[in-house]
Amino acid sequence: MTPKNQTHSPSRKPISHMKQLFKEQHILMMLLKEFRDGILICDQQGLILQVNPSLRNFLHLSEEVSGREVTQVIRNEPFHDLLGAVLATGNSCVEEITLVEGPSPEMFFEVHMVPIFIPVLGENDLPETQAEPGQTVNGCVIIFHDITDIRKTEKMRRDFVANVSHELRTPLTAIEGYSETLLDGAIDDQTVCRDFINVIYRHSLRLTQLVEDLLDLSKLESPDYKPDFTPVSLQTLIQQAFVLVQDKAVEKEIKISVTVQEPLPLVMADSSSLQQVLTNLLDNAIKYTPTQGEVSIGVYENSKGKIQVDVKDNGIGIEGKHLSRIFERFYRVDKARSRDMGGTGLGLSIVKHIVQLHGGEIWVDSKVNEGSTFSFTVDPQPV
């Protein structure tokens, strides 16, 4: 900007002003274009003069909006009230608003509204940037700072704490109640005493499992955690996982079959983590399949050159509406049923984390009463 005290030759002044104006306009346009925050400039009537590409993106605007009323383009009552107040009073403001535009879910913005004051220029005047007291407002610059990720993370943290507290409370309440009853005299009855101690033992196992799962999750989510990738034989890992779930399968008379494409290359994996994936998927397949059901594991190189593992069961299956949420922490189709079976609802989220840390993908196909197939991929050892 030209300093106020600079002298100008009268004949050259209009051209230098034009150049200056052009330069400033160009800088302004570049700023608007590059800004990651959304920016909207409107006049004193609330008619749009400019919107930058970021805001067009946030609002999914495909058509030209210059000249349209802000209230027609951003349909949000509290936002209109704020803008009305800024244009009426000339006071800037900062507020949080929530917008739902087009197909997107809610977006959260910190909105800064700054009134524009344009002084009337005389022949030799230079533009003023400060408002004079009592000056009328000529428009408003609105900055939309996207805080959606911050709000989402906060919500996830709140939900997580609420879920963990809830999961802890159930077994703790049971342990407390049963011990109290024992101390109040039930301990003298041999049969009752044994039953109660059994319940206490089951709930303490549940607590241990929950804490172990939470520790696993926090390890996997830590930015410092680096899996120890080595060439691993999937056949060996499947055998080890099989040993761990064998008792449960035998108890329910569930047959487990394994089909491995030969020759199968080794895979690049953290062997204990990948074993946890297989164990969790097998454990689920057995848990959610009725007695005398069938579970099969298929391992082969898929059309994309990845090694794919399918864990298939002919169990209860999962209704379509749950499929997109099944890998979320604590998500269970039937909470009561899963809890009764000692489940924490963290198994599949741990599995998903591990597969993703290996650069693989995981998905599920399922039909109610027909069964489910959980599939994941992992990279083969480079040749």
Ligand X SMILES: Nc1ncnc2c1ncn2[C@@H]1O[C@H](COP(=O)(O)OP(=O)(O)OP(=O)(O)O)[C@@H](O)[C@H]1O
Nearest distance in Å: CB 273, Mg ion: 16
Nearest distance in Å: CB 159, Mg ion: 20
Q: Compare residues 146 and 313 and give the one whose CB is closer to ligand X.
A: 313
Nearest distance in Å: CB 244, ligand X: 13
Nearest distance in Å: CB 287, ligand X: 6
- H/E segment holding residue 109: strand 107-116
Q: Could you say which of 275, 284, 289, 349 contacts Mg ion (CB under 5 A)?
A: 284
Binding partner of 142, given ligand X, Mg ion, none, CB within 5-8 angstroms per partner class: none
The alpha carbon torsion through 196, 197, 200, 201 (nearest 10 deg) reads -140
Q: Compare residues 284 and 308 and give the one whose CB is closer to ligand X.
A: 284
How far is residue 227's CA from residue 229's CA, in Å, rounded to a whole number? 6
Nearest distance in Å: CB 166, Mg ion: 18
Binding partner of 99, given ligand X, Mg ion, none, CB within 5-8 angstroms per partner class: none
Integer angstrom CA distances of residue 192 from 172, 184, 195, 198, 245: 20, 12, 5, 10, 31
Q: Compare residues 120 and 336 and give the one whose CB is closer to ligand X.
A: 336
Integer angstrom CA distances of residue 27 from 3, 24, 53, 55, 180: 18, 5, 15, 18, 75
In the complex, the residues that contact ligand X under the rule CB under 6 A are 213, 284-285, 288, 313, 315-318, 326, 331-334, 338, 343-348, 372
Q: Is 347 in the site for Mg ion (CB under 5 A)?
A: yes
Nearest distance in Å: CB 90, ligand X: 56
Stretch that binds Mg ion, among 18-26, 210-218, 221-229, 276-284 (CB under 5 A): 276-284
Q: Compare residues 270 and 313 and give the one whose CB is closer to ligand X.
A: 313
Q: Compare residues 58 and 327 and give the one whose CB is closer to ligand X.
A: 327
Q: Which of 376, 350, 177 is nearest to 273 (CA)?
A: 350
Q: Strand pairing of 294-301 and 255-260?
A: parallel
Q: Compare residues 329 and 358 and give the one whose CB is closer to ligand X.
A: 329
Nearest distance in Å: CB 308, Mg ion: 21
Q: Compare residues 50 and 314 and give the one whose CB is closer to ligand X.
A: 314
Nearest distance in Å: CB 311, ligand X: 8
Stretch that binds Mg ion, among 103-111, 136-144, 346-354, 357-365 (CB under 5 A): 346-354
Integer angstrom CA distances of residue 210 from 197, 326, 335, 351, 358: 20, 18, 15, 15, 24
Binding partner of 313, given Mg ion, ligand X, none, CB within 5-8 angstroms per partner class: ligand X
Binding partner of 372, given Mg ion, ligand X, none, CB within 5-8 angstroms per partner class: ligand X
Q: Which residues pair with 364 in a beta bridge?
A: 374
Nearest distance in Å: CB 343, Mg ion: 5
Q: Which residue is nearest to Mg ion (CB)?
A: 347
How far is residue 176's CA from residue 163's CA, in Å, rounded to a whole number? 20
Neighbours of 209 (CB within 10 A): 16
Q: Compare residues 326 and 354 and give the one whose CB is closer to ligand X.
A: 326
Number of residues that bind Mg ion (CB under 5 A): 2
How far is residue 339's CA from residue 202's CA, in Å, rounded to a whole number? 11
Q: Compare residues 206 and 306 and give the one whose CB is closer to ligand X.
A: 206
Binding partner of 333, given ligand X, Mg ion, none, CB within 5-8 angstroms per partner class: ligand X
Binding partner of 332, given Mg ion, ligand X, none, CB within 5-8 angstroms per partner class: ligand X
- H/E segment holding residue 21: helix 13-34
Q: Which long-range contacts (CB under 8 A, 24 or more apart) does 315-320 make?
A: 315/285, 315/288, 315/289, 315/290, 315/371, 315/372, 316/288, 316/289, 316/290, 316/368, 316/369, 317/366, 317/367, 317/368, 317/369, 317/370, 317/371, 317/372, 318/364, 318/366, 318/368, 318/372, 319/368
* Residues with Cβ within 8 Å of residue 331, at least 6 apart in sequence: 322, 325, 345, 348, 349
- Pick out residues in 76-115 that bind Mg ion (CB under 5 A): none
Which ranges in 222-292 belong to alpha helices (H)? 234-251, 271-287
Contact residues for Mg ion, defined by CB under 5 A? 284, 347
